[in-house]
Amino acid sequence: MRDLTSGADSALIEMVNPVNWRTALERLDGNEDLLKELAVLFCLEYPKLISALQKATDEKNANAIRAAAHTLKGVMGTFSADVASQAAAKLENLAEVGTLMGVETLTAKLAAEVEAVFVALRLISNDNQSANNKPATDNNQRILPCDLKVLIADDDPISRRALEVSLTAEGYEPSIAADGLEALRLLEGPDSPKLAVVNWMMPHVDGLKVCKTIRQRATDAYVYIILLTARGRKEEIIAGLEAGADDYLTKPFDVLELKARLRTGRRMLGLQGQLVAAREHLRVLATHDSLTGIWNRAAILDQLETELSRSKRSGVPLAVIMADLDRFKHINDTRGHLVGDIVLRGAAIRMKNALRAYDSIGRYGGEEFLIVAPGCDSGEAGNLAERLRVAICNENIEVRGTSLALTVSIGVSVTEPTSTPETLLCTADEALYEAKNKGRNMVAIGNPVA
């Protein structure tokens, strides 16, 4: 491949001096293929860009002039076409102020500068097979980072492609959006990218709006947003950060700098992921019984309260089942506490497996379990309790080479209009007491508290 910056191409450089190749290449991390591909893209876009500028000027439409000049400023910046880029900035400023005096002259100057760049880039884009669509590869065959998804949102196809190729070469998996709406859509859903490079100025929904919308979404999955901006003024950068951007990069961006900033983003996402995981771990610790893995007392009582409110609203009955292992002390006394622990865990698993998906089971006390069963009247609750009883006793539990028979006594209570968590628990407890008194290994249905 020909070296664009030295030797045999010096004549070419002379011809194409509206473009500063060296800087443009440096910005793209020395990726010549990419620079040539961007040149092809620009040549395809050129008539559209110029006619948008011309039309806006003819119509004296300040907003449209500003937008067209802004786009050209960015595109020219990508190719380090500084004179053209400055001409675009001048026109953009004029349109921004709203005075359109002398606008035709500035537009004509800009169009001439852009045309010079077009001529230069066309030379490169015609350079045998220089421009191709294969993604850029890295000479050093470096180990690619993990499959990190990144959203690229930019309405400028040249900048978009530059971002896509550079980031793909770095091992990222880019999703591409040409406007803010598309960007928001691509950032939805659990598998969406958590890193986003978003252009500030885009039609309809701009980068600021994208930042604000993402930050308003109530979700744990943080999106790290780098805002791309041609606006370098302090107040504008502050506005970007306040809208929710984590970082910003001024256009035309330098690929190495972008990669470094993305690495920072990944580090932040990693830390955030650890925080979420730690919080989740704490939540599990706070609500689950460490020995059996089922809900702990506080959590199952919470569920009882929630389900009772739901039952009162819907009029659907709710059953509370209290199950206490029979003569468990004897297992501890004869086999030791450790064996007792294993039996407790086994009993919890057996009962949990016998429940329906929407029932909850928690450890209420030492060897006492509480089951909250929505939608059960006393007949269905009796059947469910009987299923639990059989799940415990129909097979011995094997522990360390010994086979232990286990039974459970169960008390059941079912809601009535005046039920409270306390009355339900009290009735189930009394029924359990009755089951124990009548000889254990049985189910008793409680009578409502008078």
**Residues of this chain that bind ligand GH3 (CB under 6 A):** 291, 324-330, 332, 337, 340-341, 344, 366-367, 436, 440
Any residues with CB less than 8 A from the CB of 247 and at least 6 apart, and which?
224, 225, 226, 227, 261, 264, 265
The least CB distance from residue 424 to ligand GH3, in Å, is 21
Tokens read off for 173:
């998996």
State how beta strands 224-229 and 195-199 pair.
parallel
Give yes or no for residue 359 binding Mg ion (CB under 5 A): no
Q: Which is nearer to ligand GH3, 90 or 345 (CB)?
A: 345
Residue reference for tokens 């470096």: 142
Q: Which is nearer to Mg ion, 34 or 322 (CB)?
A: 322
The least CB distance from residue 257 to ligand GH3, in Å, is 58
The half-sphere exposure of 104 on its side-chain side, counting CA atoms within 13 A, is 2
Q: How far apart are CA 201 and CA 209, in angstroms?
A: 10
Q: How far apart are CA 41 and CA 56, in angstroms?
A: 23
Give yes or no for residue 364 binding Mg ion (CB under 5 A): no
Binds 366: which of Mg ion, ligand GH3, none (CB < 5-8 Å by kind): ligand GH3
Q: Which is nearer to ligand GH3, 287 or 332 (CB)?
A: 332
The least CB distance from residue 319 to ligand GH3, in Å, is 21
Residue 354, phi then psi, degrees to nearest 5: -85, -5
Binds 122: which of ligand GH3, Mg ion, none (CB < 5-8 Å by kind): none
Positions 367 through 406 that interact with Mg ion (CB under 5 A): 367
Q: Give start and end residues of each alpha helix (H) in 9-99.
A: 10-15, 21-27, 32-58, 62-78, 82-97
The least CB distance from residue 364 to ligand GH3, in Å, is 11
Q: Which is nearer to ligand GH3, 38 or 370 (CB)?
A: 370
Binds 340: which of ligand GH3, Mg ion, none (CB < 5-8 Å by kind): ligand GH3
Binds 337: which of Mg ion, ligand GH3, none (CB < 5-8 Å by kind): ligand GH3
3-state class (DSSP) for residue 229? strand
DSSP state of 360: E
Contacting range for Mg ion; rule: CB under 5 A; set: 66-74, 86-94, 110-118, 321-329: 321-329
Cβ neighbours, 10 Å, residue 329:
12
Tokens read off for 68:
């067209």
Binds 270: which of ligand GH3, Mg ion, none (CB < 5-8 Å by kind): none
The burial of 207, by beta-carbon neighbours within 10 Å (0-12 exposed, 13-18 middle, 19 or more buried), is given as buried
Give yes or no for residue 324 binding Mg ion (CB under 5 A): yes
Q: How far apart are CA 432 and CA 413, in angstroms?
A: 10
Q: Which is nearer to ligand GH3, 75 or 331 (CB)?
A: 331
Give yes or no for residue 246 binding Mg ion (CB under 5 A): no
Give yes or no for residue 164 binding Mg ion (CB under 5 A): no
3-state class (DSSP) for residue 81? coil
Options 328, 369, 399, 432; binder of Mg ion; rule CB under 5 A: 328
Residues found near Mg ion in the complex (CB under 5 A): 324-325, 328, 367
